[in-house]
Chains A and B, each alone.
Chain A
């Protein structure tokens, strides 16, 4: 009898290992300074007490994709999803080191930051094509959402049939307009939040359970 139980358990373990789906990798994408790392830190801190990376007002602070594994999000109804959060460098089609000099950086430091930023953008695009299972697309709701980068990136995400939630960030600022973002991308759910203040995060977590679960 013991032999059958042991065999059954062993077989079950092998089958689980073979068919176990890896956790979904949810990429946080968007243009530079949309608040991607602030939101990533907020999500990671809310569910694990940890943090993912430093933030700065100078664009391209995040120049490498960073992944935090095994974040379990749940609600009071007992729904839960375990995901990896991938914080990505801000996507753009142009980078000039002069921009960083305007923030007070020395030339050498600015050139280095620009070089790392170009590598980071290329890396972010590679992740999107190869390794991402769902996207939180971050937009600064005080800015016009009709930019080429936003239209292109949302098009790329749609062409890969990835589930996407658009986050209208910085709603704590007076010029914020989530409605302009809803108007620009009516085909996707838009959740207004303040990653910095933690406003309306519950709605975002509910949408993440619904979309990525």
Chain B
């Protein structure tokens, strides 16, 4: 049997149909099994905040120690939020491809504005 790491690529279409908690559970359940999750479209800032919070609640001694996550900074999409948003000058942002893995298996080697290098080991 080939030794290696399972990588799950989740499409933007699938993510769009999910609630915040469904996305977070999908990611954490997958990562806690030792898999790497690639999201075609990243999480919103609010979802990222909740992911950090729930990740912390899942950490156990000698078990799950958290996640390593890599994404680029969101892109500014210009005005959003309809007429009110435009009148108020409110700006939206587009989330970008995101890679999430178990902290004890994935390490970032290099990260800058347009290049992320990560290293992944099997368990």
**What is A's interface to B at a CB cutoff of 8 Å?**
91-97, 111, 114-115, 118-119, 121-122, 125-126, 128-129, 144, 146-148, 151-152, 154-156, 158-160
Contacts and interface: CB of A to CB of B under 8 A. Distances in A.
Given A151-B71, A155-B74, A122 B56 contact: yes
14 contacts: A91-B52, A92-B66, A93-B69, A114-B61, A126-B53, A144-B111, A147-B111, A148-B68, A151-B71, A151-B73, A154-B73, A158-B45, A159-B46, A160-B45
Contacts of A94: 59, 65-68, 103
A96 B57 contact: no
Interface residues of B, number: 30
B59 A118 contact: yes
Contacts of B70: 148
Contacts of B65: 94-96
B45 A146 contact: no
Interface string B79-112: 0000000000000010000000001100010011
B111 A95 contact: no
A152 B61 contact: no
A160 B93 CA distance: 12
Interface string B37-67: 0000000111011101101110101000111
A128 B45 CA distance: 12
A95 B55 CA distance: 10
A156 B50 CA distance: 11
Say whether chain A's binding surface is mostly helix, strand, loop, or mixed.
Answer: helix
Contacts of A156: 45-46, 48-49
B59 to A, nearest CB: 5
Say whether chain B's binding surface is mostly helix, strand, loop, or mixed.
Answer: mixed
Contacts of A147: 108, 111
Given A148-B71, A158-B45, A159-B93, A93 B111 contact: no
Contacts of B108: 147-148
Nearest to B76: A187
Nearest to A125: B53
A160 B48 CA distance: 13
Contacts of B66: 92-96
B45 A96 contact: no
A65 B72 CA distance: 29
A96 B61 CA distance: 7
A127 to B, nearest CB: 11
Given A148-B70, A152-B45, A95 B61 contact: no
Contacts of B112: 146
Contacts of B103: 93-94, 96
Contacts of B73: 151, 154-155
Contacts of A115: 61
A95 B59 contact: yes
Query: Which of B48, B52, B113 has the most A CB atoms < 10 Å from its CB?
Result: B52
A148 B69 contact: yes
A129 B111 CA distance: 27
Contacts of A146: 111-113
A171 B57 CA distance: 35
Given A96-B66, A121-B53, A128-B49, 15 more contacts: A94-B65, A94-B68, A94-B103, A95-B56, A95-B65, A97-B61, A125-B49, A146-B113, A151-B72, A152-B48, A155-B48, A155-B93, A156-B46, A156-B49, A160-B45
